Amino acid sequence: EVHLVESGGGLVQPGGSLKLSCAASGFTFSSYWMTWVRQAPGKGLEWLANIKHDGSAKFYVDSVKGRFTISRDNAKNSVYLQMNSLRAEDTAVYYCARLKYGSSRHTDDWGQGTLVTVSS
């Protein structure tokens, strides 16, 4: 069974940094693209970033480009999201998800999410 567990969320001041982690199990992690998606309180879903199975390709939404960095460690079955220069509007639940990337592209399994609150 696929299991994704996010951690690292919490309260951070505007301008601060936070690194989220997502530990994966139940599948061959190194064979899958991974993604981060967020959801601000009471709002819709926002796709943030994808990373290729070997880390050689990364894609970001414009609103986080240059501030957030997605990375992975296949030896640790983990994907990360380094978030710098955080703003109040980055307050959200952050989900990691496994990506099916081929003739179709979609997320099939998601973690439970970790809450990031940016506030002074």
Q: By the criterion CB under 8 A, which residues form the site for other proteins?
A: 37, 44-47, 50, 59-62, 95, 100, 103-108, 110-113
User: Which residue, 16 or 113, has its beta carbon nearer to other proteins?
Assistant: 113
- For residue 94, the minimal CB distance to other proteins (Å) is 12
Answer for the pair 27, 76: CB distance below 8 angstroms, yes or no.
no
- The b/e string for 81-90 (b: 16+ C-beta within 10 A; e otherwise) is bebeebeeeb
User: Which residue, 104 or 120, has its beta carbon nearer to other proteins?
Assistant: 104
- For residue 108, the minimal CB distance to other proteins (Å) is 5
Count CA within 13 A, CB hemisphere, residue 53.
10
Degrees, nearest 5: CA angle 120-6-108? 125
- For residue 97, the minimal CB distance to other proteins (Å) is 8
